[in-house]
A and B are shown apart, each in its own frame.
Chain A
Amino acid sequence: MGHDDYKEMIPAHALSALDASDERALNEHLATCAECRRDVAEWEATAASLALSVKPMEPSPRVRERILTQIRSDKSVSNVVPFPGAQRNLWNSLGSLGSIAAIILFAALIISVVALWQQNRSLRQQNEFYQLLTEPGSRVAELAGTAEATSATAKLAYNKNGRAILIANGLPRAPQGKQYQLWFIVGNKPPLPGKSFSPDDTGSSTTQDQVPETARNSAVFAVTLEPAGGVNSPTGAIYLRGEL
């Protein structure tokens, strides 16, 4: 296939409509052809204009709240300083035993709902992992534990659009104020930050992320221990590492 053949494939590439073998061949060509890379940007703009043909719709105000809450918790998890509570009189407390019982029951209910939700979410994410594996053009990278965690292992599966799921096992519990963070390393460029995650009590974690476009064909994937909420450049030890 020659340059002109690849050039003709770019409009379909901008619509993500190429079949896996064509997509792979075009990506190899794009790595070496600046003219075609410029074409991709132009055709992507044409494809994006199709979004304007759709009727605009208003999402629930809850979405905005959820986004802002999430980013605030990302920023503040490691900075929270407990506020000293006022001393309470024991006799006053006894007067509110009924309230205490109600609070305990409510807390137990919340804990069981959260546990069920987490269980359900974990099952759903594992199903999505296997679903990803069956998609044409999907890839899997195996990550092995380093000296920091010799028994840790992980698999990172992602599809041609970069949608990824990381399943990690055997990781030590992260210390207070710390989380593990995924990294994408391409050549000698600075590592690109991925999501932060905390394994459960068994050292397992299932995390969804997005592999940056530049890291989809060839990259090193690593997991380090970082301040909770994640950082923009790695600072901690590497616990898992693998490459494509």
Chain B
Amino acid sequence: MRPEQAQNNDIELLNAIVARDEGALADLYDRYRIILFGLLMRILSNREEAEDVLQEVFLQVWRRAADFDENRGRPFTWLVTMARSRGIDRLRSLAARERVAIAGARDEAEAISDAASDAFRSEQRGLITNALDQLPDEQKRPLMLAYFDGLTQSEIAARLGAPLGTVKTRMRTGMMKLRELLAGKDASFGF
């Protein structure tokens, strides 16, 4: 399925969810579960917590599908932003009491092979990993620490032992390069 077609399908599914069509929610779940679960596992490193947050995300979709505004972005962006935000919230709430325990018992949930996901998705993954490989490590690391570990710029500066101003500049430059590198392929990220 091509990106524009997929995006239209997603919007149709969200409209059907607003109309309380549970089959539409099941279809949306089937479409995005492995991407969102992969993201949540990357953030939380714990299968039980990641599954719990994945469930919360789709219950939120069920209750808040009417909040989606296609003028503000694609369904894919909306879903990923929601999942990442909830994942980071859960990470923070676990941090005070369980981070040590989680770190000590990292859940080695098995990643599904690229062959098991469809070719289109693998192609997208290739594009983003190639783009990230082209960023210097000093720009890539702040992005990763912010996106997957939920750290703020001050926390990243402290973690990397770099001045706050330097971190801000590297983060902005890294994001701008990433956007440029993906610009020609933007349609591929439509979902």
Interchain CB contact under 8 A, A55 and B38 = yes
Beyond A55-B111, A59-B33, A75-B20, is A48–B171 a contact (Cβ under 8 Å)?
no
Beyond A52-B124, A63-B33, is A44–B67 a contact (Cβ under 8 Å)?
no
- Give the complex CA separation of A232 and B17 in angstroms: 13
Interchain CB contact under 8 A, B175 and A19 = no
Of residues 1 through 36 on chain A, the ones whose CB sits less than 8 Å from some CB of chain B are 8, 11-12, 14-20, 22
Interchain CB contact under 8 A, A131 and B153 = no
Of residues 158 through 183 on chain B, the ones whose CB sits less than 8 Å from some CB of chain A are 168, 171-172, 175-176, 178-179, 182
Q: Which of A22, A41, A49 has the most CB of B within 10 A?
A: A49
Of residues 143 through 177 on chain A, the ones whose CB sits less than 8 Å from some CB of chain B are 159, 161-163
Interchain CB contact under 8 A, B66 and A58 = no
Interchain CB contact under 8 A, B74 and A12 = no
Please, which residues of chain A bring their CB within 8 A of the CB of B176?
11
Q: Which of A11, A12, A50 has the most CB of B within 10 A?
A: A50
Q: Report if A212 contacts B (CB, 8 A).
A: yes
Please, which residues of chain A bring their CB within 8 A of the CB of B35?
51-52, 54, 56
Interchain CB contact under 8 A, B25 and A53 = no
- Give the complex CA separation of A71 and B144 in angstroms: 34
Interchain CB contact under 8 A, A131 and B33 = no
Q: How large is the interface on A (under 10, 10 to 19, 20 to 34, 35 or more residues)?
A: 35 or more
Beyond A19-B153, A50-B143, A57-B37, is A8–B51 a contact (Cβ under 8 Å)?
no
Interface flags for B5-24 (1: CB within 8 Å of A; 0: not) read: 00000000000000010100
Of residues 107 through 163 on chain B, the ones whose CB sits less than 8 Å from some CB of chain A are 109-112, 116-117, 121, 124-125, 127-129, 132, 142-144, 146-148, 150-154, 156
Could you tell me the distance in whole angstroms from the C-beta of A218 to the nearest C-beta in chain B?
Answer: 17
Q: Report if A100 contacts B (CB, 8 A).
A: no
Q: Which of A16, A53, A192 has the most CB of B within 10 A?
A: A53
Contact with B171, one of A11, A64, A232 (Cβ below 8 angstroms):
A11
Interchain CB contact under 8 A, A17 and B92 = no
Interchain CB contact under 8 A, A52 and B59 = no
Q: Report if B4 contacts A (CB, 8 A).
A: no
Contact with B38, one of A57, A62, A195 (Cβ below 8 angstroms):
A57
Please, which residues of chain B bring their CB within 8 A of the CB of A41?
72-73, 77
Please, which residues of chain A bring their CB within 8 A of the CB of B84?
48, 51
Could you tell me the distance in whole angstroms from the C-beta of B65 to the nearest C-beta in chain A?
Answer: 11
Query: Between A and B, how many residue pairs show CB distances below 8 Å?
Result: 186
Interchain CB contact under 8 A, A44 and B81 = yes
Interchain CB contact under 8 A, A63 and B26 = no
Interchain CB contact under 8 A, A12 and B171 = yes
- Give the complex CA separation of A41 and B72 in angstroms: 6
Could you tell me the distance in whole angstroms from the C-beta of A74 to the nearest C-beta in chain B?
Answer: 8
Contact with A46, one of B37, B109, B151, B175 (Cβ below 8 angstroms):
B175
Q: Report if B46 contacts A (CB, 8 A).
A: no
Interface flags for A66-82 (1: CB within 8 Å of B; 0: not) read: 11101110110000000
Contact with B168, one of A12, A20, A162 (Cβ below 8 angstroms):
A12
Of residues 50 through 70 on chain B, the ones whose CB sits less than 8 Å from some CB of chain A are 50-51, 54-55, 58-60, 62-64, 66-67
Interchain CB contact under 8 A, B168 and A16 = no
Q: Give residues in B with beta carbon < 8 Å to A.
A: 20, 22, 25-26, 29-30, 33-39, 41-42, 47, 50-51, 54-55, 58-60, 62-64, 66-67, 72-74, 76-77, 80-81, 83-86, 88-89, 92-93, 96-97, 109-112, 116-117, 121, 124-125, 127-129, 132, 142-144, 146-148, 150-154, 156, 168, 171-172, 175-176, 178-179, 182, 189
- Which 6 residue pairs across A and B have the least CB separation, nearest first? A11-B175, A17-B146, A55-B111, A56-B34, A15-B146, A48-B80
Q: Give residues in A with beta carbon < 8 Å to B.
A: 8, 11-12, 14-20, 22, 41-60, 62-64, 66-68, 70-72, 74-75, 127-128, 131-132, 135-136, 159, 161-163, 192-193, 195, 210, 212, 230, 232
